[in-house]
Structure 1
Amino acid sequence: MDYPRDTLTFEHLRRVKVENCKSLENLFPHWVAASLNRLEKIRVEFCAIKEIVACGDNTPHFTTGQALFPQLTSLVFHDMPQLESFCPDLPTLNWPFLKELRVTHCDKLNMFPLVATMNKWPEGDDHQDISNQETHSSFEKGIFTLERLSLVDKDIQMIQNGKFSEDIFGKPKALTLACFHDENAVFPPVSLLQRFRNLQSLEFFCSAFEELFPDEGLVDEGKCLVLEHLRELKLSKLHNIKHVWRKDCLLSKILRSIDKLEVRECPSLTTLFLAEISFQNLTELVVMDSSGLGKLSTPRLSHASLFRYEYGPYPWNWRKWESDGDLNVAIQRLSA
């Protein structure tokens, strides 16, 4: 009798996306995972998975040093409260092409050990007895191919404890700070964000903050170049945030420099801009599912144009609308 592993191969599979599988305990048997040498993207959300790759004890020719997914470029896990490990056997997870790493709402999965496994473990069967010193050495190597990264509250706390080098994550261009669910959570300091020298996009996701950069006054010129050169700012699922703009603060500089602003699912937000704000580069504004927003003041823009409006349940009764005209005029017409 033939077993599936003898008749099925998945060597050409490039993408895996799994959602809302409440009875699924693992994503791959080990014999399947070992065959996915061309897999590039894994995205798993809203599942009851406990481990991504099942234990390989019953897999013929299995070795603990066997590499999995050598072509992987994107790894996204979201809302999997039972997820505890990537693979209990801790095989080599050497992903030299990894560009995106985002793990949110997976409270049992520790982010930093996952990062450590991006580097090859020493060959042999005693890799599970690796010392804390060796683990720290793996952290120090970093992941220098990353372009998109998410960090949650507990990750930030570990970084601030000073246990890891500043360049552990390389130089990503897009950073998401997520899951600061406690209403007393401390907002990430600017000094932390300064580590990401190539940052172009910054997102705040699913957190209890009432305002952004609450303790940061107007920073002296030249002292916060990373944030002042952002091109994109995203605010998603910030249910307590009440306003974006605050006069004479760091955020005012950020807003003046960006060319794209997204606001999604911020129901307590009542005013997006003040009339005196002046944008130098803004070309795209996206607002969705923010039911409390009753006033969208028209900002002053240098050369912006509205090219897309996405329908949403807003109090303004805007219809789906497209225009190549000036954004100031477009917003006035939509609000009329």
Structure 2
Amino acid sequence: DVTTMGPLPFALKTLALCDLPNLENVWNSNVELTFPQVKSLALCDLPKLKYDMLKPFTHLEPHPLNQVCIQKLTPNIEHLILGEHELNMILSGEFQGNHLNELKVLALFFHFDSDVFVQRVPNIEKLEVCDGSFKEIFCFDSLNVDEDGLVSQLKVICWDSLPELVSIGSENSGIVPFLRNLETLQVISCFSSINLVPCTVSFSNLTYLKVESCKSLLYLFTSSKARSLGKLKTMEIGWCDSIEEIVSSTEEGDESDENEIIFQQLNCLKLEYLFKLRRFYKGSLSFPSLEEFTVWRCDRMESLCAGTVKTDKLLQVNTNWGGDVIPLETDLNSAMQNR
């Protein structure tokens, strides 16, 4: 046991228990022992941790012995990190009743052979998912989403090492409404599909996008989805070996070079190590707020687009990590050709 006597003599705010293969219990049978000040709790890779380790704290409501109530133990928990084994311990007892009222950040670490994502998620602001063979994260038919969306507060998504991921949402499930409030999307080493955003998903409030090491992607958005990114301020794309366009030119009307997409609030754009990237978009582009543009090791890209490109505030192009820059003397396409 980590604790052997009495209430803790200090205000514990962070508790992390990870990679402890023989740990069975965290505390003794003292039912008065609680952690009311804990804001961040991490439980990962604890294969022998007993399902009934929190049995003394489940007296408020009747629970089966294989369910764990952490609300009584840590009533003010805001940041929860769980491995797959530990998630299964509390899943039905906590998430279904949505008892984690103060929880804002949920980080889930699965095994690489895990192919089924959780069916219920509490109403959090940030969701982190690492490792796994999931083909789909948000399946509208099974996730706990009502008319208002139980995860309507979700603002930040971070995904890492999900190589089998096919889609953010089910293509047959209609628009995933709660993702409209998403402000930050970070995707690293994910996706077996050719595009990032299916037609069913809207990111109208997205302000930050980072996509890295997604080797199957050929493009990120269709032109109609790109036009909905009116609040996007930062876009960082790197190490995606197959990507040829950022915005696909496959929709009706995209064959014209005059078809313009305006990224009204985009302030920072970074394109790095995209060896097959030919262009950002076939048509015309406008970046009225762009002040920082970095392009590095995008060897096949000779211009940003086939049409015109407008950059009212951009003064130079950053061409590597060493600080080399190209002054913007005419337009961005000309600067790209002079690299």
Which TM-score band (shorter chain)? 0.5 to 0.7
- The answer on 1:113 being equivalent to 2:113 is no
After superposition, the Cα gap between the structure-2 partners of 1:14 and 1:206, relative to the gap in structure 1 and judged at 3 Å, is same
| Structure whose residues are more often helix by fraction | 1
Alpha-carbon deviation of 1:105? 7.5
Alpha-carbon deviation of 1:147? 1.6
After superposition, the Cα gap between the structure-2 partners of 1:76 and 1:11, relative to the gap in structure 1 and judged at 3 Å, is same
What does residue 52 of structure 2 align with? 57
Contact 1:69 1:95 in 2 (8 A): no
Alpha-carbon deviation of 1:89? 4.2
Name structure 2 gaps, 5 residues minimum: 59-67, 125-140
Alpha-carbon deviation of 1:240? 1.8
User: 2:240 is matched by which residue type in structure 1?
Assistant: L
Alpha-carbon deviation of 1:174? 1.8
Which of 147, 153, 160 is residue 171 of structure 2 equivalent to?
Answer: 160
The alignment of Structure 1 onto Structure 2 pairs a total of residues equal to: 283
What does residue 231 of structure 1 align with? 233
Task: Report the TM-score, using the length of structure 2 for normalisation.
Answer: 0.57
Report SS of the residue matched to 1:86. Answer: helix
After superposition, residues 163-182 of structure 1 pair within 5 angstroms as 166-168=176-178, 171-176=181-186, 180-182=190-192
What does residue 12 of structure 2 align with? 12
After superposition, residues 255-270 of structure 1 pair within 5 angstroms as 255=263, 258-269=266-277
After superposition, the Cα gap between the structure-2 partners of 1:193 and 1:75, relative to the gap in structure 1 and judged at 3 Å, is farther
CA distance in 2, matches of 1:12, 1:268: 50
Contact 1:279 1:300 in 2 (8 A): yes
What does residue 208 of structure 2 align with? 201
User: 1:240 is matched by which residue type in structure 2?
Assistant: S
User: 2:289 is matched by which residue type in structure 1?
Assistant: N
Contact 1:111 1:155 in 2 (8 A): no
| Structure whose residues are more often strand by fraction | 2
CA distance in 1, matches of 2:116, 2:123: 12
After superposition, the Cα gap between the structure-2 partners of 1:257 and 1:179, relative to the gap in structure 1 and judged at 3 Å, is same
CA distance in 2, matches of 1:53, 1:284: 50
Q: String of CA shifts for 1:187-222, please: whole Å, max 9, x gaps.
A: 25553232x442223333432112233xx3x54xxx
What does residue 240 of structure 1 align with? 242
After superposition, the Cα gap between the structure-2 partners of 1:205 and 1:311, relative to the gap in structure 1 and judged at 3 Å, is closer
What does residue 94 of structure 2 align with? 92
Task: Report the TM-score, using the length of structure 1 for normalisation.
Answer: 0.58
Q: String of CA shifts for 1:237-260, please: whole Å, max 9, x gaps.
A: 422224446667599626565222
Q: String of CA shifts for 1:256-313, please: whole Å, max 9, x gaps.
A: 65222233554544666899754222122345xx54547675864202356x97963x
After superposition, the Cα gap between the structure-2 partners of 1:73 and 1:177, relative to the gap in structure 1 and judged at 3 Å, is same
After superposition, the Cα gap between the structure-2 partners of 1:198 and 1:244, relative to the gap in structure 1 and judged at 3 Å, is closer
CA distance in 2, matches of 1:268, 1:5: 60
Alpha-carbon deviation of 1:60? 6.5
Q: String of CA shifts for 1:102-146, please: whole Å, max 9, x gaps.
A: 65875427444351597xxxxxxxxxxxxxxxx958443512332
Which of 289, 309, 313 is residue 303 of structure 1 equivalent to?
Answer: 313
User: 1:199 is matched by which residue type in structure 2?
Assistant: L
Contact 2:267 2:289 in 1 (8 A): yes
Alpha-carbon deviation of 1:231? 2.6
CA distance in 1, matches of 2:10, 2:275: 44
User: 1:282 is matched by which residue type in structure 2?
Assistant: L
After superposition, the Cα gap between the structure-2 partners of 1:158 and 1:260, relative to the gap in structure 1 and judged at 3 Å, is closer
After superposition, the Cα gap between the structure-2 partners of 1:295 and 1:187, relative to the gap in structure 1 and judged at 3 Å, is closer
User: 2:205 is matched by which residue type in structure 1?
Assistant: N
- The answer on 1:147 being equivalent to 2:155 is yes
Task: Report sequence identity in percent.
Answer: 15
